Structure 1
Amino acid sequence: MKNWITIILLISFGTIQSQKKLDALTTPSSPAASMLGMQPSSILQPKSYRALEAALFTNFSDNNGNSVIPNDFGLEFMPYWATDHGITIEEYLYPKINLNQILRNSSFSVASTQNFLLQDSTKTKSIALGYRTSLFFGNAQDKEIIKQHIDRLTINQRVGSKIMSRLIELESKFHYKTKEEYLTAVHDSLTIRINEVLGKKSIKQAEEITKNIYDATENLSFDENNTDLFFTSFLELIESKMMGSYEEFKAYIQERQGFNIDFAYALSLNFPTNDFGYSQVPRQSFWINPSYKFSDKINFLKAIGVLRYEWYNKKYFEKYFPDTKVYKNNFDYGLALLGEFKKFSIEFEATGRKSSSLSAAGTDGSGNTLYTKETASDFQYIGTFSYRLTEQIALSYQIGSSFKPIFTTNGTLISLLSLNFGFGGPNTTDVTSKK
């Protein structure tokens, strides 16, 4: 096989193993880690300023109190959620384009390593800092979809309350010794009540709902000496079945229809001599990622764009990577289309890159330095196929051709199998109904 083609097949376990990610089109969840070209074995996410202070002190100082740079370390912190001020339901569902939304979505990231290799294989210490935020632009159609979900949930809650009130009446009149005895006794009354609160539309629909409820009772424990526990669990089961549209609402909120823009910035700091008194900034990056989630008949489709500008310190690379060709400025631009079908998703992206540098070409008759402009272009395309195993775990496979690597001699043909873990977002306790 030709030496300019390299196929990489590996299993990378998200926050478990340290493996280099592909140069993805979307804004990285941790800009700092992306800047170092690494994936920390774990990313700390302190929820308060005290926890942040403890995380930094524990990892950036040794037993003698001296400053150190931890290896394979990652941290991400959202200052807005470090204090207990919460967010109203209105602000959460209908965010306004203002400073508060920027602050709510702002996160700062830190990543570090003790194994940043120079060209001569010297291991050096590096640290990176990053910032990220986003803005969501709601529209009339999005508000209508939100309203429909809330109306449906309200109706289902009302229906569930009426059903449970009837069961409570039966509970006070009926004494049962087994789970099967109780379920048999209330079956017909439950079905009739469901049919009544649904507006007597279809007895078959009510029977189907009852069957779904009864199929799920196998996991409910029953103790003849403590029947209240079973009865409470049975009521909760009915409520969950009648509130089934909640999961649809939750899924929509996580990927709601409309226009969103992510912003991010990061820089890396390298200590080439491993001396804290001497450092350089090899690279900086700034991302703008607009995205749009479609609705109606094509609500499975999402479009993502990228504008990314990178600065490279040429003097640094000329000194420590003399055989590496680095341009001072890189400008990336691209587009991706993402299709989501329940647990399966597919994404195709294409990104172009324009690189440029000014190089000294001598002097003129007056002694002024003359420069020539060097330019280059590159192109990347990647297909990603993902299957969501659970709410927080997804198995993904990527194949395509990446940008020409800067620090290695690897080729551009890529095959990557990965297991990704996702965490984040405000807790339900942060959302309130009052302003």
Structure 2
Amino acid sequence: MSALALTAAEVADLRAAFPYFVRHSSEERPPAYLDSAATSQRPAAVLDAEREFLETANAAVHRGTSGAVGAATEAFEGARARVAAFVGASPDEIVWAENATDALNIVALGIGEANAGAGLGVAGSERYALGAGDEILVTEAEHHANLIPWQRLAAKTGAALKFIPVREDGTWTLDDARAAITSRTRIFAFAHISNVTGFIAPVAELAALAREAGALSVLDACQSVPHVPVDLHELGVDFAAFSGHKMLGPNGIGVLYGRPELLAALPPSRTGGSAITKVTMESAEFMPPPMRFEPGTQPVSQVVGLGAAVDFLSGVGMDRSAAREHELVERLVAGIAETPGIRLLGPSDTSQRAALAAVSVDGLHAHDVGQFLDEQGVLVRVGHHCAQPLHRAFGIASSTRASVHLTTTEDEVDRFVDALRGAQRYFGVEVSA
């Protein structure tokens, strides 16, 4: 056991801070919650922060001069500052979005606006010019949220969408990226950690490659920010997106990070009140970032809840949480490797993997596996995980994914592996050692 990792006793104390785990702890067979990669459970501190704001301080932020508005705005912007610090950024580099999908679309649609006439009059938007001969690069492993917006942008602008094929184990390398990036590459979008294989991309090196080629780097950080220490300035990416509900926070809140000069030149993809400085019947002028990208009434209580979530994670320590999760992933991968008839998707080398493991069980559909696991009280995700091209590369339609978080126990990991073996027996699948 790593000296840095959270101990079993500390994990037990942490679980006591989560109403979900407390509520189910008295059951004869408490559910093994192994679906944090989709949505994590929330500690009481997050639920309380959002509830307390709604009960005692709810008001319209950035609208009016009353003391109530001032207090609400202070809570809203204070959360922005804490979230920014959590990922090594500055508050003016953090834009609130509905979720990570929305955050990625803000970038893609904003670049589309920059290529539709005068870019809504935003100074410097010409830096986002795209057209025939230009290339947008992604990987075959991307979540649909980091693929479809770029497909649409390519179709709108005439740029070509290129992708880095995955290898047999679903991974790709720095050398693969180096071979794919050309002088025509304008955007390189990729995930920090794959939501199917758990593969950890060498982000800093990839961002440097993009920068050398004159391309923008766009990082899907949904599976990294909740699980490993992330410093976006050190990584050197141009844009990044992550979501609150995967990091102990509320639904309905996501985060877009962008370098200040890039946000300043990006036209807004949605327009309306509070994002503008001047409106006539013929035109509008827009606020500087981040407010330019936050029109309308904001999800204030969710922002406050997300601020509480990063406080909770910071109090635990992301280095200690990551060390603990690494031990769990090692246990998870070892159990799968010892079970004939189960194919692990992604790297078997756990130094290249974080937070999750997806499997294909020979002779069984993932939905049948998932239903059997659910009956055993093991809660996982089944399906294509919004990554159809990657599953197609594996030659399968779907998989069964278990994911861990700082509250996961060794027993829950073992129950998952045991339940997979139970599914094989239940459905009469023959396996050879």
The alignment's TM-score, normalised by the length of structure 1, stands at 0.23
The alignment's TM-score, normalised by the length of structure 2, stands at 0.23
Please tell me whether Structure 1 or Structure 2 has the larger radius of gyration of its CA atoms: 1
Higher relative contact order (CA 8 A, sep 6+): 2
Determine which structure has the larger strand proportion and give its number. 1
